[in-house]
Amino acid sequence: MPKRFPERVNYRIKQIAIDIRAERGSLRYPNAAEIRRELRERDWSSEDIPSERHVRKVLSELDPVWISPIDSPWSLGVSDDHGIPSDATGVLMEVWRWSITREAPEPISIRTARWVAKLRWVEGAGGTDQGGVADLERLYHIASLYSGRERQVELIKNKTEKDKKGIRSGVLDAHVMLGANANLAVNLGILEDDNDIAYDEAFSMVAQNYLWNK
């Protein structure tokens, strides 16, 4: 009988595949042999590494060309179609201008714009209590972290789970609001996150080289 692996192992396989594809800038996911080699390089024991057949089955649950429409570039004309409030327009235009004139990884997407519209009220994220912007770079950075995390969860879960309620962002929320003190809450396990999807690597496929002190 084939060995059964917990769902966290399958999520890990998908996450590694997504990360490698993003690093390569490719539409193709790595194959099963490449995933198993990566697991060995990460010091997984032979007993914990699934067979190539199992890895292939897990990878088949990922659509290699799945790109959500909300990951396309944001512009003012598409805000209404995606429920982005009109009173966020001023902040969004400022963040958009910053993203195309500074050394940002890329202009904001529709997905990131939705997070900017939410986070502009949060001082710890670079917003203000009046829904404005105090720190453009930080607001871009934090919105990109939420956006990238949401996209990664969708990529991993889009064919295997029916829960479409969004990400469980407790860990990200703590890092935004508590800074270094968030590690205590994380270690205590009192924050809700996306079960079995690791937070120990890059949070985001956008702005993934940024640091939390930005």
67 vs 15, 64, 168, 174, CA distance in Å? Answer: 16, 9, 21, 29
- Mean pLDDT, the chain, integer: 77
pLDDT by residue (tens digit) across 108-140?
889 999 999 999 999 999 999 999 999 999 999
pTM of this structure:
0.63
Query: For residue 28, is it left (φ>0), alpha (ψ between -120 and 50) or beta?
Result: beta
pLDDT by residue (tens digit) across 35-61?
998 888 887 888 888 888 899 988 888
The domain locations on the chain are 7-59, 69-188
